């Protein structure tokens, strides 16, 4: 079966936008220098009672890049994500962060090192305002538990940091709105800001645009691109338009293995990738 690129793009992968911003943002993306690997997985494997959900994944995430993990349903994306963030323990394999083996670390220890998972477990308190939420997030980062009781007067430049975070995620106008009263897309922006408050070196996002309407997808996509300046982002994402817009590098998983890796253009032309997506999209099969 031959599949035309046109069909492929129309039905599954949306035509890629020139990733102009991406190239400017990430000097390393021009490949003039070998990229520094900030997060590295080797032979990552996860079995659930004998069922191999992830079977020996190697992954190199370059510092400063936005690296997307894609693949059809059940491919093992979330499992890899949970392994990388240490929410699952691998059956075998190693993970190195900034050259240090972190396979045995707990998620909280990894967060302190700068590897932070965002969105689904972000701590946003619904009854606090946007800026109060950011204050709490900053206190957690900068105040040791022992000094916590000393209160606001010792927090120095916290209000400046809050202002900077509000600007970064475009929430200045909402500083005094309770988190519970924010629209869904803005709640995501606040969640992202509480993660940024912890000054992550690498942020891992599982389906950041899931459940968002068109407008909010664009808002969150822009936010992630903005937040990725000077940081590294690994994201699991189903929205191919979003991936095409901002991912520097894409790893494609199928049945627990990486079957292709490269830029959006490269992976979207890969016959194995095309086949595995067509195989899992009944809607697309009808188009055929
Ligand atoms: N806790 C678990 N126990 C048993 N099997 C699991 C468990 N978690 C995941 N699996 C299985 O492992 C495989 C990979 O699941 P995973 O959730 O990682 O896929 P995914 O690529 O994230 O899928 P989706 O696109 O639907 O989110 C699936 O077959 C799933 O049923
Ligand atoms: Mg998943």
pLDDT for the residue 24: 40
Q: With a 6 A CB cut-off, is 75 part of the ligand 1 pocket?
A: yes
The closest residue, in CA terms, to atom 31 on ligand 1 is 74
pLDDT for the residue 108: 85
Q: With a 6 A CB cut-off, is 252 part of the ligand 1 pocket?
A: no
What pTM was computed for the model?
Answer: 0.82
Q: Is 276 exposed, middle or buried (0-12, 13-18, 19+ CB in 10 A)?
A: buried
The closest residue, in CA terms, to atom 7 on ligand 1 is 48
Averaged pLDDT, groups of 10, the chain, 288 residues long = 36 43 42 79 96 96 96 94 94 96 91 81 83 89 52 66 93 96 90 89 90 86 90 93 95 96 94 80 36
pLDDT for the residue 74: 93
Distances (CA, A) of 112 to 141, 156, 192: 9, 21, 17
Site of tokens 């995501």: 188
pLDDT for the residue 142: 54
The closest residue, in CA terms, to atom 30 on ligand 1 is 74
177 close to 134: Cβ distance less than 8 angstroms = no
pLDDT for the residue 32: 53
Site of tokens 């992830």: 54
Minimum-distance ligand to the CA of 73?
1
pLDDT for the residue 15: 44
pLDDT for the residue 10: 35
Domain with CATH 3.40.50.300 in the chain: 1-113+234-288, 115-199
Specify the CATH class of 1-113+234-288 in words.
alpha beta
Q: Which superfamily, per CATH, for 115-199?
A: P-loop containing nucleotide triphosphate hydrolases (3.40.50.300)
Ligand 1 centroid to residue 197 C-alpha, Å: 31
């Amino acid at each position: 079966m031959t599949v035309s690129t046109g069909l492929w793009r129309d039905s599954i992968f949306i035509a890629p936008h020139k990733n102009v911003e991406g190239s400017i943002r990430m000097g390393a993306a021009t490949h003039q220098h070998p990229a520094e690997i900030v997060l590295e997985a080797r032979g990552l494997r996860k079995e659930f009672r004998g069922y191999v959900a992830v079977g020996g994944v190697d992954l190199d995430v370059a510092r400063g890049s936005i690296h997307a993990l894609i693949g059809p349903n059940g491919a093992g994306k979330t499992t890899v994500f949970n392994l990388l963030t240490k929410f699952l323990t691998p059956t075998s394999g190693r993970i190195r962060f900034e050259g240090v083996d972190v396979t045995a670390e707990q998620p909280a220890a990894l967060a302190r090192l700068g590897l932070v998972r965002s969105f689904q477990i972000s701590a946003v308190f619904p009854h606090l305002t946007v800026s109060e939420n950011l204050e709490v997030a900053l206190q957690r980062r900068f105040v040791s538990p022992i000094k916590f009781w000393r209160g606001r007067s010792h927090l120095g430049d916290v209000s400046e940091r809050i202002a900077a975070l509000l600007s970064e995620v475009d929430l200045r106008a909402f500083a005094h709105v309770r988190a519970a009263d924010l629209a869904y897309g803005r709640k995501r922006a606040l969640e992202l800001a509480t993660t940024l408050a912890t000054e992550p070196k690498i942020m891992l996002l599982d389906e950041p645009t899931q459940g968002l309407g068109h407008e909010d997808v664009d808002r969150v996509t822009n936010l992630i691109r903005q937040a990725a300046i000077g940081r590294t982002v690994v994201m699991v994402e189903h929205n191919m338009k979003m991936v095409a817009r901002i991912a520097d590098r894409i790893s494609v998983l199928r049945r627990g293995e990486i079957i292709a890796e490269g830029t959006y253009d490269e992976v979207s032309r890969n016959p194995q990738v095309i086949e595995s997506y067509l195989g899992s999209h009944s809607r697309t099969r009808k188009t055929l």
